[in-house]
Copies of this chain bind each other. A is one copy, B any other.
Amino acid sequence: MATLGDIGMSALINILGAFAFLLAFALLRIQPLNDRVYFTKWYIEGQRSSPSRRGDGLVGRFVNLNYRTYLTFLNWMPQALQMKEPQIIEHAGLDSAVFLRIYRLGLKIFGPIAIVAAIVLFPVNASGGTLFFLQHDLVVNNIDKLSISNIHPKSNKFLVHIGLEYLFTFWACYMLYKEYDKVASMRLSFLASCGRHPAQFTVLVRNVPRDPNRSISETVDNFFQRNHPDYYLCHQSVYKAKKFAKLVKKRIKLQNQLNYNQLKFERNPKKRPTRKKGFLGLWGERVDSIDYFEQQIKDLDEQVKIEREKVMKDPKAVTRAAFVSFKTRWGAAVCAQTQQSKNPTLWLTYWAPEPRDIYWKNLGIPFVSLSIRKLIISVAMFGLIFFYFIPVAFVQSLANIEGLSKALPFLRPILDRKLVKSFLQGFVPGLALKIFLLLLPSILMVMSKIEGHVAVSVLEQKTAAKYYYFMLVNVFLGSIATGTAFQQLNAFLHQSATEIPRNIGVSIPMKASFFITYIMIDGWAGIAGEILRLKPLAFFHLKRMFLVKTERDLEKAMRPKGVDFPETLPSLQLYFLLGIVYMAVTPILLPFILVFFAFAYFVYRHQVINVYNQKYESAAAFWPHVHNRIIASLVVSQLLLMGLLSTKKATNSTPLLVVLPILTLTFHKYCKHRFEPAFRNDPLEESMSKDLEDGATELDGEFKSQLMDAYLHPIFHNIEGVEDEIRIEKN
């Protein structure tokens, strides 16, 4: 356990580190060379153009020579706070705006709690005096003097902690209620204000039954013309077309190379670019590049056309899903919320995700397969959480030189070298774990994809949930209890229901200093790293040097990504959990969390405004999950406090806590009924009033064709020229 001095030192180092990052960021961002990395969003919005075109001379293109900007290099901070919330919603979407609100919620919940805890709990804990008596025998941690550990067993002072747990819980619930209310109304008004949009008129239908005498498309037409005669407009089939997608990808590459060569020729009209015919242009006959790629594209177009016709004619290429569009929003809302068929596993209807949000590959998965997939993934997830260390340990065991040289004797000469030996023994074990942790989000995303969700937003939510469970067990519980997650699981199975919170609760105060250090290293330094964007910066410059040939490549090299919800939300929720668990036990932890929330709010606000570009807009669909996990944290905190107090022999006061989890869960249930439907259904009142706003219920022809195009399978989109043909054929 660290003393206050140790923690102060650690804090100083972390603060200095964070400042160094901030300074580096402030200097790097004003260099024109990095402009595309730090102002990605503005490039995408078209409000900022390449610095190379501004004409500051050759050096000015890459290095900032304007000394004045160096004097005001920290002005990004006030800038980040200038934009108001409605503008942020307009600029970056509701998802980002609500994401920022979570950090503010953290400040709102923990700010007053920290103040009350400092005023009430510090004196109570400090006057407890158990540890003062022990001081002679034991080097006592200063932090422990301010924590619940310092109170005598059987003391009546525990009533203060219980009272504060009640007070803090009520405060947190009050803030959560207000926030849920606000977010729900923001969502509704966002959806109301976003104008006529294909997604409002469209429903995704899955598990269309196969009829031997009809195509899927005819079946869909028939069914909806019969059951929604007044509202059905049209539908789009979903195709399975792996080969087609490959051809299209190839064509895009060829087109890009053609563009590059044409550009080269434009710049230097004297010499037509040439290339060799063979693999990667490395050998073979030398030909004119432009002619070569033009011919290649022509050949490929022929193939694409044939393949497209094949896909559209082949009844097996049509999956059992379809996007069905309606004449009014009311008709679509009705269809999305009702059961269509006698057999509830057929004709399943959902709101269509935004066209950008669709994960096309999963649309055709049948119902039975979905159940099996979910089962397999939950078992796999359980295994991953509790047994992830087995493959890691296996890789680490490779570092065991003797084992390796026995298993693969022919490697012995190499392994015997000193350098290789020390590398294997010193570096590999840590590296293996680090690589696993870096790969973890991708692994979890693959697992979510296997589960069969059809929207990218849902995939990200599910990945975030999985990541949270992993962190909960392996970071939170793993740090508090001893041994691996599996050993804990085993111990829990052999402990009684009352013993588990007791055993965890008792070590909670002892781990406070560890978590303070964790918050500083993972939270503070992590956020500072976030704003510097080292990885995208490095990738951008590497790509610029070696790969970028055309303007299009340059745009791709910016790698405009959105907020990384699968990683940020779980760690955010972990900080909420830490704050809530420690608020009545060791409140000295709260200021560190408050600094994290404030700093992160600042940084993410800047990033949302200048860098991130959301790939989809789910209108804050992740909010209920965040809310639910904060509520769960409250209950965990109450149970652990009960366990902790029961080890303190506070038998008079502990039963007073029993009511609190019941009240908290009731609050949760109330919120679920009160607000969650707003995140799942679209109320008829709303769609009707929007329909009426449109005036005539008849849709004009333009919007009708827009509707039909919106959910066209993406394979038909990406090639210029081809799209139009299809539309004509379909009509």
Contacts and interface: CB of A to CB of B under 8 A. Distances in A.
A674 B492 contact: no
How many copies of the chain does the oligomer comprise? 2
A342 to B, nearest CB: 5
Interface string A330-345: 1001100111111011
Interface in A635-691: 662, 666, 669-670, 673-678, 681-686, 688
A85 interface: no
Contact of A339 (B223, B337, B341): B337
A340 B685 contact: yes
B340 A669 contact: no
A499 B678 CA distance: 44
A684 B227 contact: yes
A499 B498 CA distance: 13
A495 interface: yes
A494 B677 CA distance: 39
A288 interface: no
A371 B670 contact: yes
B339 A371 contact: no
8 contacts: A223-B685, A226-B688, A227-B330, A338-B681, A338-B684, A344-B676, A375-B666, A494-B496
Contacts of A6: none
A282 interface: no
Contacts of A226: 685, 688
A509 to B, nearest CB: 24
A673 B496 contact: no
A342 B498 contact: no
A230 interface: yes
B494 A675 contact: no
Interface in A211-257: 223, 226-228, 230
B683 A342 contact: yes
Contact of A334 (B338, B368, B492, B666): B338
Contacts of A670: 368, 371
Interface in A480-532: 492-499
Contacts of A33: none
The 10 A-B pairs with the shortest beta carbon distances in the complex, nearest first, are: A344-B677, A339-B681, A337-B338, A494-B496, A339-B683, A227-B688, A495-B496, A334-B334, A493-B498, A496-B496
Given A371-B673, A494-B496, A495-B497, 17 more contacts: A227-B685, A337-B338, A337-B339, A338-B681, A340-B684, A342-B678, A344-B674, A344-B675, A344-B678, A367-B673, A368-B670, A379-B662, A492-B497, A493-B497, A493-B498, A494-B497, A496-B499
Interface in A367-397: 367-368, 371, 375, 379
Contacts of A669: 371
A188 interface: yes
A533 to B, nearest CB: 40
A685 B342 contact: yes
Contacts of A368: 670
Contacts of A375: 662, 666
Contacts of A227: 330, 684-685, 688
A341 B333 CA distance: 12
Contacts of A676: 344
A452 to B, nearest CB: 14
Contacts of A330: 227
Residue of A223, A367, A673 with most partner-chain B CB within 10 A: A673
Given A371-B666, A666-B371, A670-B371, A188 B342 contact: yes
Contacts of A681: 338-339, 344
A517 to B, nearest CB: 33
Contacts of A333: 338
A670 to B, nearest CB: 5
Given A230-B230, A334-B334, A496-B496, A673 B344 contact: yes
A659 to B, nearest CB: 10
Contacts of A688: 226-227
Contacts of A339: 337, 677, 681-684
Contacts of A495: 496-497
A684 B492 CA distance: 49
Nearest to A188: B342
Contacts of A499: 494, 496
Interface in A156-187: none
Contact of A337 (B337, B678, B683): B337
B496 A342 contact: no
A642 to B, nearest CB: 12
A657 to B, nearest CB: 15
Residue of A666, A681, A685 with most partner-chain B CB within 10 A: A685
A662 B337 CA distance: 31
Residue of A223, A338, A347, A675 with most partner-chain B CB within 10 A: A338
A678 B670 CA distance: 27
A691 to B, nearest CB: 10
Contacts of A675: 344
A673 B367 CA distance: 10
Contacts of A662: 375, 379
A540 to B, nearest CB: 44
Nearest to A367: B673
Nearest to A686: B342
A357 to B, nearest CB: 22
Contacts of A338: 333-334, 337-338, 681, 683-684
A678 to B, nearest CB: 6
A552 B669 CA distance: 49
Interface in A669-722: 669-670, 673-678, 681-686, 688
A97 to B, nearest CB: 20
B685 A341 contact: yes
A683 B498 contact: no
Nearest to A379: B662
A302 to B, nearest CB: 45
